[in-house]
Amino acid sequence: MDLCRFHYCFSGIIFFSGIVFPVMVASIGVNYGQIANNLPLPENVVPLVKSIGATKVKLYDADPRVLQAFANTGVEFIVGLGNDLLGKMKDVDKAQTWVKTNVQAYLPATKISSIFVGNEVLTFNDTTLTGCLVPAMQSVHTALVNLGLDKQVSVTTAHSLAILETSYPPSSGAFRRDLTSCITPILNFHAKTGSPFLINAYPYFAYKASPKQVSLDFVLFQQNQGIIDPSTNLHYDNMLFAQIDAVYAALAALGYKKLPVHISETGWPSKGDEDEAGATPDNAKKYNGNLMKLMSQKKGTPMKPDSDLNIYVFAMFNENMKPGPTSERNYGLFKPDGTPVYSLGIALSNSTFSNTTSFGGSSGSSDTPASSQGSSSTGYLTISSANTKRYPLVGPVSFFFMFMIKLLLIS
């Protein structure tokens, strides 16, 4: 089922310079990673998810504890099938067993609307893994059809923005030529099944690479002059929307103008190493808070003004066991004890988080369906570690390089 069909909102309060305004915030998605040894039990995460108005959650696995904890909450889930399982999933029987155990067992109490098969597979430069991707997606979809679930659960995969060869101006967005033969079958699959195209986009990395040239206001959704696409005359006042439209342009160039694009990951770290410019609580607050404010306006991008913004913020928690630079362990909206890392400027609901929370609890209730074939959280290390190339802008005419030139001229 196309995720675009679900649109929720909640009454919240946004604070501007001490003045309080009630608003309706559009559907917010959040990534729930678990590479940590100090996270709260899933049942204690439910009120935290609701406190930020999130109605959609993306898991990097199909953790039975999480799926059971969110039963009858109305929260919509995307569950992940890790890269390490793609080879097995080419077998329809194995795919059907996985779907029965990790999806069907929780329906309809837990709302599972999509399965993303693999994460950033095409940019791993692993031909064997790439060769398994489409067959695995097809097998999982066939399994859903066999089980009568294909109308409510879609199949997709998530990509790094590094699949783009050209991204400036946005209207000239194009996929890497060496990946076209791999991408086209995926797009055919999306067109036939009606599933969305997922992309992980991080303006933070453009700023981190060249903080003296890239406008911080431009990447944080703050007031700025922005840029104009010379081909379309469309005005862009933030980098994320320009990135999204570059993806739309790349899809259109291959003949897939109608495919919906969802942002499966985007975020900003609140802490980093000395060489990680901009990784501060204040910048993270501005990025995520302003992003949610934009979503509340229910406006699309300049190229797709009538398309809904389906965006999943990365991430729910700081994860203390993630490899890589300090920033990788500090993308969370919440600390493991349930307290906010920073204020988003959105009033929290009356839901409270117990001060006596148990941490790292791995035991589920006795009636939790048994997990099998790698549905546990360990798969997240495979598909979302710092080694997966989360480069926001790529290509011989890289997006951030061109933005540096433009922004230097107007600053």
Q: Which pLDDT score, from 0 to 100, does residue 8 have?
A: 28
Q: Catalytic residue among 165, 265, 276, 319, which? A: 265
User: pLDDT tens digits for 78-93?
Assistant: 999 999 999 999 999 9
Q: How far apart are the first and last CA of the chain?
A: 45
Q: Which pLDDT score, from 0 to 100, does residue 38 have?
A: 97
Side-chain-side CA neighbours of residue 263 (13 Å): 32
Known active-site residue 265: yes
Known active-site residue 43: no
d(CA 116, CA 61): 9
d(CA 390, CA 205): 8
Q: Which pLDDT score, from 0 to 100, does residue 346 have?
A: 59
d(CA 395, CA 246): 12
Q: Which pLDDT score, from 0 to 100, does residue 350 have?
A: 41
How does strand 311-313 pair with strand 28-32?
parallel
In contact, 383 and 82? CB cutoff 8 Å: yes
Q: Which pLDDT score, from 0 to 100, does residue 63 have?
A: 98
Q: Nearest-CA neighbor of 3 among 87, 72, 71, 78?
A: 78
d(CA 175, CA 160): 11
Q: Which pLDDT score, from 0 to 100, does residue 359 have?
A: 35
Q: Which pLDDT score, from 0 to 100, does residue 364 have?
A: 33
Q: Which pLDDT score, from 0 to 100, does residue 135 have?
A: 98
Q: Which pLDDT score, from 0 to 100, does residue 347 have?
A: 52
Is the pTM higher than 0.95? The answer reads no
d(CA 90, CA 84): 12
Output the CA angle 46-49-52, nearest 5 degrees. Answer: 145
In which residue ranges of the chain is pLDDT below 70? Answer: 1-26, 346-411
Residue 244 Cα distances to 126, 160, 248, 392, angstroms: 26, 12, 6, 11
Q: How many other C-beta atoms can be found within 10 angstroms of the C-beta atom of residue 370?
A: 9
CA 173 to chain centre: 20
In contact, 214 and 403? CB cutoff 8 Å: yes
Q: Which pLDDT score, from 0 to 100, does residue 407 have?
A: 44
In contact, 247 and 168? CB cutoff 8 Å: no
Q: How many other C-beta atoms can be found within 10 angstroms of the C-beta atom of residue 384?
A: 27
Q: Catalytic residue among 120, 165, 319, 328, which? A: 120
**Three-state DSSP class for residue 49:** helix
Element (H, E) at 338: none
